[in-house]
Structure 1
Amino acid sequence: MTALPAPVRWLAVPVALTCTVVALVGSWSSADPAVEVPQPSGRVAGYCKALAAALPQELLGHPRRDPSPASPYVAAWGGSPRTVLRCGVDRPEELNGEHAEDWSPTVDDVTWWSQKLSDGGYRFVTTMRAAYVEVTVPAGAAQNAFDPAAALTPAVKANIPG
Protein backbone atom coordinates (compact mmCIF):
# COMPACT_ATOMS: atom_id res chain seq x y z
CA MET A 1 0.00 0.00 0.00
CA THR A 2 1.39 3.42 -0.97
CA ALA A 3 1.29 6.40 1.39
CA LEU A 4 -0.47 9.56 0.25
CA PRO A 5 1.76 12.46 -0.83
CA ALA A 6 2.71 14.87 1.98
CA PRO A 7 0.55 17.83 0.76
CA VAL A 8 -2.55 15.61 0.76
CA ARG A 9 -1.80 14.34 4.28
CA TRP A 10 -1.22 17.90 5.56
CA LEU A 11 -4.50 19.18 4.13
CA ALA A 12 -6.69 16.22 5.12
CA VAL A 13 -7.33 17.29 8.73
CA PRO A 14 -7.97 21.03 8.01
CA VAL A 15 -10.31 20.14 5.12
CA ALA A 16 -12.21 17.63 7.29
CA LEU A 17 -12.56 20.18 10.11
CA THR A 18 -13.74 22.88 7.71
CA CYS A 19 -16.40 20.57 6.25
CA THR A 20 -17.58 19.64 9.75
CA VAL A 21 -17.92 23.29 10.79
CA VAL A 22 -19.82 24.16 7.59
CA ALA A 23 -22.21 21.24 8.14
CA LEU A 24 -22.84 22.22 11.77
CA VAL A 25 -23.44 25.88 10.99
CA GLY A 26 -25.81 24.91 8.19
CA SER A 27 -27.83 22.70 10.52
CA TRP A 28 -28.24 25.52 13.05
CA SER A 29 -30.09 27.78 10.67
CA SER A 30 -33.85 27.44 10.68
CA ALA A 31 -36.06 27.33 7.60
CA ASP A 32 -39.07 28.26 9.73
CA PRO A 33 -39.99 31.93 9.66
CA ALA A 34 -39.98 33.88 12.91
CA VAL A 35 -43.21 33.72 14.88
CA GLU A 36 -44.70 37.03 15.96
CA VAL A 37 -45.42 36.84 19.69
CA PRO A 38 -48.72 38.41 20.79
CA GLN A 39 -48.63 40.83 23.73
CA PRO A 40 -51.96 40.37 25.51
CA SER A 41 -52.66 42.12 28.78
CA GLY A 42 -55.05 41.86 31.72
CA ARG A 43 -57.47 38.96 31.77
CA VAL A 44 -56.54 37.85 28.26
CA ALA A 45 -52.91 37.34 29.34
CA GLY A 46 -54.11 35.26 32.31
CA TYR A 47 -56.32 33.09 30.09
CA CYS A 48 -53.46 32.56 27.66
CA LYS A 49 -51.04 31.58 30.44
CA ALA A 50 -53.58 29.04 31.73
CA LEU A 51 -53.98 27.67 28.19
CA ALA A 52 -50.19 27.41 27.78
CA ALA A 53 -49.99 25.25 30.92
CA ALA A 54 -52.71 22.95 29.57
CA LEU A 55 -51.32 22.43 26.06
CA PRO A 56 -50.11 18.93 25.15
CA GLN A 57 -46.45 17.98 24.71
CA GLU A 58 -47.48 16.03 21.60
CA LEU A 59 -50.06 16.97 18.98
CA LEU A 60 -51.21 14.32 16.50
CA GLY A 61 -47.91 12.48 16.85
CA HIS A 62 -45.75 15.62 16.55
CA PRO A 63 -43.60 16.64 19.55
CA ARG A 64 -43.88 20.13 20.98
CA ARG A 65 -41.02 22.38 19.83
CA ASP A 66 -41.74 25.94 20.87
CA PRO A 67 -39.95 28.77 19.08
CA SER A 68 -37.20 30.64 20.85
CA PRO A 69 -37.34 32.78 22.91
CA ALA A 70 -40.03 30.95 24.88
CA SER A 71 -43.35 32.72 25.47
CA PRO A 72 -46.52 31.64 27.26
CA TYR A 73 -48.42 32.99 24.26
CA VAL A 74 -46.87 30.76 21.56
CA ALA A 75 -46.58 26.98 21.19
CA ALA A 76 -45.51 24.85 18.22
CA TRP A 77 -45.51 21.18 17.29
CA GLY A 78 -43.53 19.33 14.64
CA GLY A 79 -40.50 20.37 12.67
CA SER A 80 -40.78 21.80 9.22
CA PRO A 81 -43.58 22.47 8.56
CA ARG A 82 -44.83 23.06 12.07
CA THR A 83 -48.22 23.81 13.56
CA VAL A 84 -48.17 27.04 15.60
CA LEU A 85 -50.64 28.21 18.24
CA ARG A 86 -50.68 31.89 19.28
CA CYS A 87 -52.92 33.08 22.09
CA GLY A 88 -53.98 36.66 22.62
CA VAL A 89 -53.82 37.70 18.97
CA ASP A 90 -55.84 40.64 17.76
CA ARG A 91 -59.23 40.01 16.15
CA PRO A 92 -58.53 39.25 12.49
CA GLU A 93 -59.51 42.16 10.25
CA GLU A 94 -60.78 39.63 7.72
CA LEU A 95 -63.72 38.90 10.04
CA ASN A 96 -65.09 42.32 9.07
CA GLY A 97 -64.88 41.74 5.33
CA GLU A 98 -65.74 39.24 2.65
CA HIS A 99 -64.03 36.40 4.53
CA ALA A 100 -66.37 36.72 7.53
CA GLU A 101 -68.56 34.02 6.00
CA ASP A 102 -65.69 31.57 5.38
CA TRP A 103 -65.96 28.03 6.69
CA SER A 104 -66.12 28.13 10.51
CA PRO A 105 -66.42 24.65 12.02
CA THR A 106 -67.59 24.26 15.61
CA VAL A 107 -66.16 21.56 17.85
CA ASP A 108 -67.54 21.10 21.38
CA ASP A 109 -68.91 24.67 21.47
CA VAL A 110 -65.65 26.24 20.19
CA THR A 111 -65.99 27.90 16.78
CA TRP A 112 -62.89 28.16 14.60
CA TRP A 113 -63.00 30.71 11.78
CA SER A 114 -60.80 29.45 8.95
CA GLN A 115 -58.73 31.10 6.27
CA LYS A 116 -56.87 29.34 3.47
CA LEU A 117 -53.33 30.69 3.20
CA SER A 118 -51.39 31.38 0.02
CA ASP A 119 -48.98 28.49 0.79
CA GLY A 120 -51.86 25.99 0.82
CA GLY A 121 -52.07 25.82 4.61
CA TYR A 122 -54.78 27.16 6.88
CA ARG A 123 -55.18 29.60 9.74
CA PHE A 124 -57.89 28.91 12.32
CA VAL A 125 -58.97 31.53 14.86
CA THR A 126 -61.43 31.06 17.69
CA THR A 127 -64.45 33.33 17.73
CA MET A 128 -66.85 34.23 20.53
CA ARG A 129 -64.20 33.56 23.25
CA ALA A 130 -62.63 35.90 25.84
CA ALA A 131 -59.31 35.67 23.94
CA TYR A 132 -58.55 35.01 20.30
CA VAL A 133 -56.51 31.83 19.78
CA GLU A 134 -54.91 31.28 16.38
CA VAL A 135 -53.68 27.93 15.06
CA THR A 136 -51.66 28.02 11.83
CA VAL A 137 -51.35 24.72 10.00
CA PRO A 138 -49.01 24.87 6.98
CA ALA A 139 -49.60 22.57 4.03
CA GLY A 140 -48.28 19.12 4.89
CA ALA A 141 -48.24 19.62 8.68
CA ALA A 142 -51.34 17.45 9.20
CA GLN A 143 -53.30 14.87 7.24
CA ASN A 144 -56.38 17.10 7.51
CA ALA A 145 -55.68 20.82 8.04
CA PHE A 146 -58.40 21.15 10.70
CA ASP A 147 -57.18 18.21 12.83
CA PRO A 148 -54.72 20.26 14.99
CA ALA A 149 -57.34 22.89 15.85
CA ALA A 150 -59.88 20.18 16.65
CA ALA A 151 -57.36 18.36 18.86
CA LEU A 152 -56.61 21.61 20.75
CA THR A 153 -60.29 22.42 21.29
CA PRO A 154 -60.61 20.79 24.77
CA ALA A 155 -57.68 22.85 26.13
CA VAL A 156 -59.08 26.04 24.56
CA LYS A 157 -62.57 25.38 25.89
CA ALA A 158 -61.30 24.65 29.41
CA ASN A 159 -59.09 27.78 29.62
CA ILE A 160 -60.58 30.50 27.41
CA PRO A 161 -64.13 31.38 28.51
CA GLY A 162 -66.81 31.71 25.86
Structure 2
Amino acid sequence: MTLTSRLTTLPAPVRWLTLPAVLLTGVVVLPFVWAAPAEVTPPVPRAGAAEYCATLDRALPDTVLGHRREDPSPASPYTAAWGSSPRTVLRCGIERPGYLDDDPLKQSPEVNDVQWGMSGTPDGGYRFVTTLRKAYVEIEVPKGAYPGYTDPLGSFADAIKATVPDGL
Protein backbone atom coordinates (compact mmCIF):
# COMPACT_ATOMS: atom_id res chain seq x y z
CA MET A 1 0.00 0.00 0.00
CA THR A 2 1.49 3.36 -1.02
CA LEU A 3 1.59 6.48 1.10
CA THR A 4 -0.96 8.18 -1.15
CA SER A 5 -3.45 5.33 -0.83
CA ARG A 6 -2.94 5.26 2.94
CA LEU A 7 -3.64 8.98 3.16
CA THR A 8 -6.86 8.67 1.15
CA THR A 9 -8.21 6.21 3.73
CA LEU A 10 -7.87 8.82 6.48
CA PRO A 11 -10.72 11.18 7.30
CA ALA A 12 -10.56 14.49 5.36
CA PRO A 13 -9.63 16.73 8.35
CA VAL A 14 -6.64 14.49 9.12
CA ARG A 15 -5.52 14.54 5.45
CA TRP A 16 -5.79 18.34 5.37
CA LEU A 17 -3.65 18.69 8.50
CA THR A 18 -0.95 16.20 7.47
CA LEU A 19 1.01 18.53 5.17
CA PRO A 20 0.91 21.54 7.54
CA ALA A 21 2.03 19.28 10.42
CA VAL A 22 4.98 17.95 8.40
CA LEU A 23 5.97 21.48 7.32
CA LEU A 24 5.69 22.82 10.88
CA THR A 25 7.90 20.00 12.16
CA GLY A 26 10.51 20.90 9.54
CA VAL A 27 10.36 24.57 10.48
CA VAL A 28 10.84 23.74 14.16
CA VAL A 29 13.64 21.17 13.71
CA LEU A 30 15.64 22.77 10.87
CA PRO A 31 16.97 25.80 12.81
CA PHE A 32 18.40 23.48 15.47
CA VAL A 33 20.20 21.45 12.82
CA TRP A 34 21.58 24.54 11.08
CA ALA A 35 22.47 26.33 14.33
CA ALA A 36 24.55 23.46 15.64
CA PRO A 37 28.08 24.86 15.48
CA ALA A 38 30.80 22.72 14.01
CA GLU A 39 33.32 21.26 16.38
CA VAL A 40 36.60 23.06 16.95
CA THR A 41 39.56 20.95 17.98
CA PRO A 42 41.07 22.54 21.08
CA PRO A 43 44.84 22.95 20.98
CA VAL A 44 47.05 21.25 23.56
CA PRO A 45 49.15 24.12 24.92
CA ARG A 46 52.40 23.86 26.85
CA ALA A 47 52.02 24.07 30.64
CA GLY A 48 52.86 27.78 30.94
CA ALA A 49 50.73 28.70 27.95
CA ALA A 50 47.81 26.67 29.34
CA GLU A 51 47.66 28.92 32.41
CA TYR A 52 47.69 32.08 30.28
CA CYS A 53 44.98 30.65 28.02
CA ALA A 54 42.70 29.69 30.91
CA THR A 55 43.06 33.21 32.32
CA LEU A 56 42.41 34.71 28.87
CA ASP A 57 39.25 32.60 28.51
CA ARG A 58 37.79 34.23 31.62
CA ALA A 59 38.71 37.73 30.36
CA LEU A 60 37.24 37.39 26.85
CA PRO A 61 34.28 39.59 25.91
CA ASP A 62 30.68 38.33 25.89
CA THR A 63 30.08 40.04 22.54
CA VAL A 64 32.31 41.00 19.62
CA LEU A 65 30.86 43.76 17.45
CA GLY A 66 27.30 42.58 18.07
CA HIS A 67 28.04 38.84 17.88
CA ARG A 68 27.28 36.90 21.09
CA ARG A 69 29.77 34.43 22.50
CA GLU A 70 28.70 30.89 21.62
CA ASP A 71 31.56 28.55 22.45
CA PRO A 72 32.21 25.57 20.20
CA SER A 73 32.10 21.97 21.26
CA PRO A 74 33.84 20.30 22.86
CA ALA A 75 33.99 22.90 25.63
CA SER A 76 37.53 23.98 26.42
CA PRO A 77 39.27 26.94 28.07
CA TYR A 78 41.45 27.04 24.93
CA THR A 79 38.66 27.78 22.42
CA ALA A 80 35.91 30.37 22.13
CA ALA A 81 33.58 31.59 19.37
CA TRP A 82 31.28 34.51 18.61
CA GLY A 83 28.29 34.44 16.29
CA SER A 84 26.75 31.40 14.71
CA SER A 85 27.14 31.57 10.96
CA PRO A 86 29.65 32.72 10.07
CA ARG A 87 31.44 32.74 13.39
CA THR A 88 34.71 34.11 14.68
CA VAL A 89 36.79 31.44 16.43
CA LEU A 90 39.60 31.96 18.95
CA ARG A 91 42.09 29.23 19.84
CA CYS A 92 44.74 29.83 22.49
CA GLY A 93 47.92 27.82 22.99
CA ILE A 94 48.40 26.76 19.39
CA GLU A 95 51.80 25.80 18.01
CA ARG A 96 53.66 28.59 16.25
CA PRO A 97 52.32 28.67 12.68
CA GLY A 98 54.86 28.31 9.89
CA TYR A 99 53.66 31.37 7.99
CA LEU A 100 55.18 33.54 10.72
CA ASP A 101 58.58 32.40 9.40
CA ASP A 102 58.04 33.94 5.95
CA ASP A 103 58.07 37.62 6.88
CA PRO A 104 56.09 38.16 10.06
CA LEU A 105 56.10 41.95 9.73
CA LYS A 106 55.06 41.98 6.05
CA GLN A 107 51.38 41.57 6.85
CA SER A 108 51.18 42.13 10.57
CA PRO A 109 48.67 44.63 11.82
CA GLU A 110 49.14 46.05 15.28
CA VAL A 111 45.93 46.68 17.18
CA ASN A 112 45.96 48.25 20.67
CA ASP A 113 49.62 47.30 21.20
CA VAL A 114 49.10 43.66 20.18
CA GLN A 115 51.03 42.54 17.09
CA TRP A 116 49.34 40.02 14.78
CA GLY A 117 50.66 37.76 12.06
CA MET A 118 48.11 37.22 9.30
CA SER A 119 47.23 34.67 6.62
CA GLY A 120 44.23 33.94 4.43
CA THR A 121 41.88 31.00 4.87
CA PRO A 122 40.62 28.75 2.04
CA ASP A 123 37.12 30.29 2.27
CA GLY A 124 38.39 33.86 1.78
CA GLY A 125 38.53 34.80 5.46
CA TYR A 126 41.55 35.65 7.58
CA ARG A 127 43.55 33.97 10.32
CA PHE A 128 45.41 36.17 12.80
CA VAL A 129 47.97 34.95 15.35
CA THR A 130 49.54 37.02 18.10
CA THR A 131 53.28 37.41 17.83
CA LEU A 132 55.88 37.93 20.56
CA ARG A 133 53.63 36.63 23.36
CA LYS A 134 54.12 33.77 25.87
CA ALA A 135 51.19 31.92 24.20
CA TYR A 136 50.05 32.06 20.59
CA VAL A 137 46.43 33.18 20.24
CA GLU A 138 44.73 32.55 16.91
CA ILE A 139 41.61 34.36 15.70
CA GLU A 140 39.86 33.07 12.59
CA VAL A 141 37.65 35.71 10.99
CA PRO A 142 35.28 34.42 8.30
CA LYS A 143 34.82 36.25 5.03
CA GLY A 144 32.15 38.94 5.28
CA ALA A 145 31.58 38.67 9.03
CA TYR A 146 32.65 42.30 9.61
CA PRO A 147 32.98 45.38 7.38
CA GLY A 148 36.79 45.38 7.85
CA TYR A 149 38.79 42.18 8.20
CA THR A 150 40.73 43.48 11.24
CA ASP A 151 37.66 44.93 12.98
CA PRO A 152 37.25 42.19 15.64
CA LEU A 153 40.90 42.31 16.75
CA GLY A 154 40.28 45.39 18.90
CA SER A 155 37.72 43.40 20.91
CA PHE A 156 40.41 40.89 21.91
CA ALA A 157 43.53 43.04 22.27
CA ASP A 158 42.91 44.35 25.80
CA ALA A 159 42.11 40.88 27.19
CA ILE A 160 45.22 39.45 25.52
CA LYS A 161 47.45 42.28 26.81
CA ALA A 162 46.12 41.74 30.33
CA THR A 163 46.51 37.94 30.42
CA VAL A 164 49.22 36.81 27.98
CA PRO A 165 52.56 38.52 28.69
CA ASP A 166 55.02 39.72 26.05
CA GLY A 167 57.94 37.46 25.27
CA LEU A 168 58.70 34.13 23.71
TM-score using structure 1 length: 0.85
2:121 corresponds to which of 101, 117, 122: 117
Cα displacement (A) at 1:58? 0.9
Q: What is the distance in 2 between the residues matched to 1:96 and 1:8?
A: 72
- Stretch deviating more after TM superposition (148-157 or 20-29): 20-29
Q: Match for 2:40: what amino acid?
A: V
Contact (CA 8 Å) 1:94, 1:100: kept in 2 or not? yes
1:70-100 per-position Cα deviation (integer Å, ceiling 9, x unaligned): 2111111122111111111111122234x64
Q: What is the distance in 2 between the residues matched to 1:50 and 1:115?
A: 26
Q: Match for 1:92: what amino acid?
A: P
Cα displacement (A) at 1:7? 4.1
- Structure 1: gaps (5+ residues): 1-5
- Name 2:83's counterpart in structure 1: 78
Q: What is the distance in 2 between the residues matched to 1:8 and 1:72?
A: 56
Structure 1 position 62 matched with structure 2 position 63: no
- Name 1:16's counterpart in structure 2: 20
- Name 1:130's counterpart in structure 2: 134
- Stretch deviating more after TM superposition (140-149 or 102-111): 102-111
- Structure 2: gaps (5+ residues): 1-9
- Stretch deviating more after TM superposition (100-109 or 37-46): 100-109
Structure 1 position 42 matched with structure 2 position 47: yes
Contact (CA 8 Å) 2:119, 2:127: kept in 1 or not? yes
- Name 2:111's counterpart in structure 1: 107
Q: What is the distance in 2 between the residues matched to 1:114 and 1:15?
A: 51
TM-score using structure 2 length: 0.82
Q: What is the distance in 1 between the residues matched to 2:149 and 2:44?
A: 26
Contact (CA 8 Å) 1:83, 1:137: kept in 2 or not? yes
- Stretch deviating more after TM superposition (14-23 or 79-88): 14-23
SS of alignment partner, residue 51 of structure 2: helix
**Percent identity (aligned):** 46
Over 3 Å counting, the alpha-carbon distance change for 1:15 and 1:68 in structure 2 is same
Contact (CA 8 Å) 1:102, 1:114: kept in 2 or not? no
Query: How many residue pairs end up in the alignment?
Result: 157
